Amino acid sequence: MDLITKNTLIELMNSSTGLTVSIYIPTYPTGREAEQNPIRLKNQIQTTEESLSEMGKSEMEIEDFLSPIFDIVDDEIFWQEQSEGLALFLDRDSLHIFRLDTRFNPLTVIGPTYHIKPLIPYFQGNGQFFLLSLDKNRPKLFQGSKNKLFHVEELDLPESLQEVFDEYFEINRHLQFHTKTQTPNPDNSGAREGMYFGHGAGEIDEKAEIRNYFHRFNDALMNYLHDKDMPMILAGLSYLHPLYRDANSFPGLLEKGIEKDVSQMTHNQLHQVAWEIVEDQFQFDVEQALNVYNQLEGKEGETTQDLQEIVSAANFKRVHTLFVAKNDQIWGYFDPNQNKVVFDDQNHMNTEDLLNFAARKTLLYDGNVVVIPKEEVPGAGSIAAILRY
């Protein structure tokens, strides 16, 4: 499963050159349905070929443009590593591939920019998250989503706390371990008996050492998390939570955590409890945004449900929070010179889903985008916005 963050989408949007193709398909990792994954992609390729032909592209131009996607159709190794959904983004220079755990509805969009709206929920809080399992011996980082939770292994993190203490003993043995004076054992000449962390080391301030270790761990962890804007949950014994929070510098750490002995929980139990916290947080964030909209509605210039006004405002950096319907598309394009929206009845190389246009512009200009079911959008339409000046 690939990682999707706001920065990922911004980099993707900024990378497109010329004509683009965005393809979404559902995939299956195992079973008979998995055998149909390449066929699902072939179906979308056929749709793309037909659309490009209608747009005036020659057969040779189409084959050359789509060749990177053709290459993966028969790649058996590629299809062995699938999740629940596949998103492909192609332009004249590159092909971007994301394997995700959402079963997308099949969709192909051709246009001047990538169609990224289906990916936005992944960093809203109802998609991916991190879980940090606190252990005074060695914390572990997990990445999760609604359907999966797996251990992140490609991290260069500090050694265990016991190993840190062993290192301290060699450098400054009176601070961490204390050799007991006793009658030498002739069968074990030169051996010493040590007092270990968590097992009777009465002279060691255990919490202080854990806190120091967590600071060290956090510094290393931030090398991995620094550009990721996903929520993170703490899981572990209650007394460890405030110690880690003192050391934490990751802004996505949620206030609510799992205050249990993680070693006594099954993997599925840990995933279920973590997802409930993330889902609740997402719903809270959506409700807060909707409450702000409702408070401002009726005040002139504060909110709007007018698509043309929103598209223009998004282009000129004036959207604070955007609400868009999850499965709607409205085709057209925006003419910035005339500050005008031109509608179209279909997707072609010069048009874009105007909801996608407003969403990507809002993201690029550091606004908030909330993708929700149409019935939850203010006014029950396709789009609404809180404006800024």
Judged against a pLDDT cut of 90, whether residue 247 lies above it is answered with yes
233 vs 139: which has the higher pLDDT: 233
- Report residue 186's pLDDT band, with 50, 70 and 90 as the boundaries: very low
In 3-state terms, what secondary structure has residue 131?
strand
| CATH dotted code for 297-387 | 3.30.1330.30
Q: What's the pLDDT score for residue 6?
A: 82
| CATH dotted code for 129-282 | 3.30.420
Q: What's the pLDDT score for residue 258?
A: 97
pLDDT single digits (tens) 308-334: 999 999 999 999 999 999 989 999 999
- Report residue 304's pLDDT band, with 50, 70 and 90 as the boundaries: very high
Judged against a pLDDT cut of 80, whether residue 366 lies above it is answered with yes
**CA pair distance 88, 265, nearest whole angstrom:** 37
Q: Backbone dihedral region of 268: left (phi > 0), alpha (psi from -120 to 50 degrees) or beta?
A: alpha
Q: What's the pLDDT score for residue 355?
A: 97
Query: Could you say which architecture CATH assigns to the domain 6-123?
Result: 2-Layer Sandwich (3.30)
| Burial status of residue 199 (CB atoms within 10 A of its CB: 0-12, 13-18, 19 or more) | exposed
- Report residue 201's pLDDT band, with 50, 70 and 90 as the boundaries: very low
Judged against a pLDDT cut of 80, whether residue 59 lies above it is answered with yes
Q: What's the pLDDT score for residue 53?
A: 95
333, 380 contact by CB (below 8 A): no
154 vs 375: which has the higher pLDDT: 375
Lowest mean pLDDT among 41-50, 182-191, 203-212, 346-355: 182-191
pLDDT single digits (tens) 1-23: 677 888 888 999 999 999 999 99
175 vs 371: which has the higher pLDDT: 371
72, 78 contact by CB (below 8 A): yes
pTM to 2 decimal places? 0.79
Q: What is the mean pLDDT of residues 346-370?
A: 94
Both structure tokens of 153:
């292994």
**CA pair distance 369, 121, nearest whole angstrom:** 9
Question: Of all helices (H) and strands (E), which one includes residue 90?
Answer: strand 85-90
Q: What is the mean pLDDT of residues 255-277?
A: 94
**CA pair distance 382, 366, nearest whole angstrom:** 21
Alpha-carbon Rg for the chain, nearest whole angstrom, is: 26
**Residue for token digits 């956090």?**
218
Q: Give residue 21's identity as a one-letter amino acid code.
A: V
Domain boundaries of the chain, sorted by first residue: 6-123, 129-282, 297-387
Q: What's the pLDDT score for residue 152?
A: 87
Domains 129-282 and 297-387 share a fold: no
Q: What is the mean pLDDT of residues 84-102?
A: 93
Judged against a pLDDT cut of 50, whether residue 169 lies above it is answered with no
Q: What's the pLDDT score for residue 287?
A: 95
Sort strands 340-343 and 331-335 into parallel, antiparallel or unpaired: antiparallel
